[in-house]
Amino acid sequence: MSHPLSSFSGIVRENEPLAPYTWLQIGGPTKYLVEPNTVEELGKVVGVCHEAGISVRVLGGGSNLLVRESGFSGATFLLSAPTFQSVRRNGNSITCGAGAKLSHVVTFAVGEGLGGLEHLIAIPGTVGGALRGNAGSHDGEVAQYVSSATILTKDGVVRRVDPSELAFTHRASGVDGVAIVDVTFDLVPGDSKALTKRQQTFWILKRRLQPSFPERAAIAFVDPVGFEAAELIQQAGLSGSSEGAVRMSSMFPNFLIASTGATSVQVQVLLDRVKAGVQDRSGVQLQQHLQIW
């Protein structure tokens, strides 16, 4: 049976389950899963979706995504092709595809003797996802070193934008478009060995603060400015609290862990309870880190 994306049959799959693409392994199917091979192909499919009124979303590393059991009735794009995973150096800049893993980009930069991104080493997910959420640590955020990005508009047009158009705020951005295609970072030349040591230090420190994977875990809340979400959850007596097959980690209170039988409703109920408990105890309103589809 034909559908608006029939002419792209080689890169489109119908009714594809999304749970396997997320860290929590929860959720239903997407009507179309699209894996374009080139930026041109990506633009063409998005253009057709725009004309046909099909909603479009881009799936990154799935580390901060919760999909409802009803799934997504539009087209989900997976930027897994080599074009979207490339990382290349140009002087003191690095340009990388939005589908590249952030940890891979950090390691590449350090190996090239370019500093600035080391503190991002243990943050999961893709560069595109990191840019959208302005990922970071106490030592800084992705936005600091971004000099430009290529985005795809809702009607399939590719545009180069500067940081002001990306509208970065604390753990968020105002990217106006369907997809980030690539990002260019302007970095600081340094000694590769010293940068490697620095990267390793950040890695060790970060690993002490999060569960070992591949546990079905995800960060629950954004650290508010001046606070640690984990400490606020602990103080409210909510570490280890659970709902059905979902629980907050006892050892890493800002991590949510899903077991067999976990549902998106259980996740949301638990997050709402923790949010309310923290607000009652400390007056701080936590912002959810998980994106919900």
Which pLDDT value is given to residue 63?
85
Question: Are 198 and 229 contained in the same domain?
Answer: no
* Full residue range of the structural domain in which residue 200 is found: 85-207
Q: How confident is the model at residue 214 (pLDDT cuts 50, 70, 90)?
A: low
Question: Are 27 and 105 contained in the same domain?
Answer: no
- What's 288's domain CATH number? 3.90.78.10
Q: What is the mean pLDDT of residues 138-167?
A: 84
Domain final residue, candidates 31, 49, 78: 78
Record the tokens describing residue 184, joined without a space: 């260019």
Tens-place pLDDT, residues 164-203: 887 776 666 767 667 889 999 999 999 889 998 888 888 7
Residue predicted with more confidence, 97 or 136: 97
Domain final residue, candidates 19, 46, 78: 78
How many structural domains are present in the chain? 3
Record the tokens describing residue 5, joined without a space: 């994306």
Look at residues 144, 96, 143, 136 and name the one whose alpha carbon lies nearest to residue 120: 136
Question: Are 233 and 195 contained in the same domain?
Answer: no
DSSP for 109-143 reads HHHTTEES-GGGTT--SBHHHHHHTT-EETTEEGG
Question: Are 117 and 150 contained in the same domain?
Answer: yes
Domain final residue, candidates 56, 78, 100: 78
Task: Look at residue 262 and tell me if it is in a domain.
Answer: yes
Active site residue 13: no
Q: What is the mean pLDDT of residues 52-76?
A: 92
Task: Look at residue 212 and tell me if it is in a domain.
Answer: no
Report d(CA 136, CA 119) in Å as an integer.
8
Q: What is the mean pLDDT of residues 23-28?
A: 94
Q: How confident is the model at residue 155 (pLDDT cuts 50, 70, 90)?
A: confident
pTM of the model: 0.85
Taking every pair of Cα atoms in the chain, the longest distance, rounded to a whole number of angstroms, is 59
Question: Are 99 and 189 contained in the same domain?
Answer: yes
Tens-place pLDDT, residues 250-272: 988 999 999 999 999 999 999 99
C-alpha triplet 67, 260, 242: angle, nearest 5°: 80
The mean pLDDT of the chain is 89
What share of the chain in percent tops pLDDT 90?
59
Q: Is the pLDDT of residue 142 over 90?
A: no
Question: Are 260 and 154 contained in the same domain?
Answer: no
- What's 18's domain CATH number? 3.30.43.10
Task: Look at residue 1 and tell me if it is in a domain.
Answer: no
> Distances in Å between the alpha carbon of 197 and those of 102, 112, 115, 142?
18, 14, 12, 20
Q: Which of 171, 207, 208, 281 is catalytic?
A: 171
Read off the DSSP letter of residue 240. T
Rounded to the nearest angstrom, the gap between the alpha carbon of residue 196 and the centroid of all alpha carbons in its chain is: 24
